[in-house]
């Protein structure tokens, strides 16, 4: 057993330290590859649950191409303040509200004390839950495990299953690149779009595809988004968190909806030797039309991400459109040379409604 480096985006957020965040993904991938290669490992089981260690692990699996299983550490449960569920997103907003005197210091501290009730990755559809969902859709993790909270004892069963699956892969010569095919990536992208996943999914899935030697471009995300319905109401664009998805049947309910609508490759293989369609055959839970929606009742007919191109981004930029109806915006550009000056402008209250904040 060995560990790798990891950083917290929550600590580096809003500072120059964020420039090291994406770099850490490469260091993580390199470190896993280095140990497995030099020690001659037969297989690999990775436990990860944060923005960069999850894709970093997947990149190393694709590079090494030895039997591998991904195990998600799980999401944190929401805290409760004044009778409402809150998470890290609310704390970021609370800091802004305090800086503009909308809430008191006592209220801010009271929220801070309950916002993170235990261990686990950020509870909304941020990068960790996005990647966990995508990895399950791609067949590289235990079916049905992506939505299980970090503190849930079912994770012991997941750990046991991971060992069984890894031995199955070893005994049958199944390797990551047998699973991480073009079809698997399309399934992963479709799920991300349907769940309103993080913009980071574009960065990470492109990097993983490159290591797996699968042709994938930024334009593929836009093409798929135009024909993939938005089927969840998850934060930051909605109202619910990953533990609510779990209570509503899990990621498999979303996958089954997409599969039944003919939007997934049902013949894509998973680590247990079964196809996606076979792994979803016993899923009979229907969307609750509150956290998870059916295709006929989709929140939107197109996916939660869009790719934009223009004079500022000739090679493409990604925008999260989940939860918004805004299609056009005009406003003055407020340009900053770094994170600190932008942060100070926000906390001073000098950013006005309608301003476009640009950090060089």
pLDDT tops 90 at residue 124: yes
What average pLDDT score do residues 16-28 get?
Answer: 94
pLDDT tops 90 at residue 348: no
Per DSSP, which regions of 49-198 are E strands? 68-72, 79-81, 84-86
Reported as a single tens digit per residue, the pLDDT across 146-195 is 999 999 999 999 999 999 999 999 999 999 999 999 999 999 999 999 99
Q: What is the mean pLDDT of the chain?
A: 95
Largest interatomic CA distance in the chain? 62
**Which helix (DSSP H) or strand (DSSP E) does residue 335 occupy?**
strand 333-336
Contacts of the segment 277-281: beta carbons below 8 A, 24+ positions apart? 279/139, 279/143, 279/252, 280/143, 280/252, 280/255, 280/256
Reported as a single tens digit per residue, the pLDDT across 216-267 is 999 999 999 999 999 999 999 899 999 999 999 999 999 999 999 999 999 9
pLDDT tops 90 at residue 300: yes
Peptide bond into 236 cis (omega under 30): yes
pLDDT score at 16: 84
């Amino acid at each position: 057993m060995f560990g790798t480096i990891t950083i917290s985006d929550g600590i580096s957020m809003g500072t120059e330290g964020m420039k090291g965040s994406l770099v850490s993904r490469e260091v993580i991938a390199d470190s896993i590859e280095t140990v497995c290669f030099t020690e001659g490992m037969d297989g690999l089981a990775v436990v990860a649950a944060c923005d960069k260690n999850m894709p970093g692990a997947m990149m190393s699996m694709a590079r090494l191409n030895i039997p591998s299983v991904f195990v998600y550490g799980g999401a944190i449960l929401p805290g409760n303040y004044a009778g409402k569920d809150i998470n890290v997103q609310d704390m970021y907003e609370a800091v802004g509200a305090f800086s503009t005197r909308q809430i008191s210091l006592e209220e801010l501290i009271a929220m801070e004390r309950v916002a993170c009730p235990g261990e686990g990755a950020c509870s909304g559809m941020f990068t960790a839950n996005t990647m966990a969902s995508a990895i399950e859709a791609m067949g590289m993790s235990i079916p049905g495990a992506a939505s299980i909270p970090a503190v849930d004892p079912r994770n012991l069963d997941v750990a046991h299953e991971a060992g069984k699956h890894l031995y199955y892969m070893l005994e049958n010569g199944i390797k990551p690149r047998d699973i991480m095919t073009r079809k698997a990536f399309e399934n992963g992208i479709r799920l991300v779009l349907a769940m309103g996943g993080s913009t980071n999914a574009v960065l990470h899935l492109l990097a993983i595809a490159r290591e797996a030697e699968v042709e994938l471009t930024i334009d593929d995300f836009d093409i798929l988004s135009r024909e993939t319905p938005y089927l969840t109401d998850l934060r930051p664009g909605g109202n619910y968190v990953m533990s609510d998805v779990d209570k509503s049947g899990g990621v498999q309910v979303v996958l089954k909806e997409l599969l039944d609508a003919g939007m997934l490759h049902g013949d894509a293989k998973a680590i247990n030797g079964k196809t996606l369609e076979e792994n979803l055959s016993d899923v009979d839970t229907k969307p609750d039309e509150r956290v998870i929606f059916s295709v006929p009742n989709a929140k939107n007919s197109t996916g939660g991400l869009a790719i934009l191109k223009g004079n500022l981004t000739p090679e493409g930029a990604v925008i999260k459109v989940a939860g918004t109806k805004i299609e056009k915006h005009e406003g003055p550009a407020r340009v900053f040379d770094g994170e600190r000056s932008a942060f100070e402008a926000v906390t001073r209250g000098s950013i006005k409604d309608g301003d476009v904040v640009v950090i060089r």
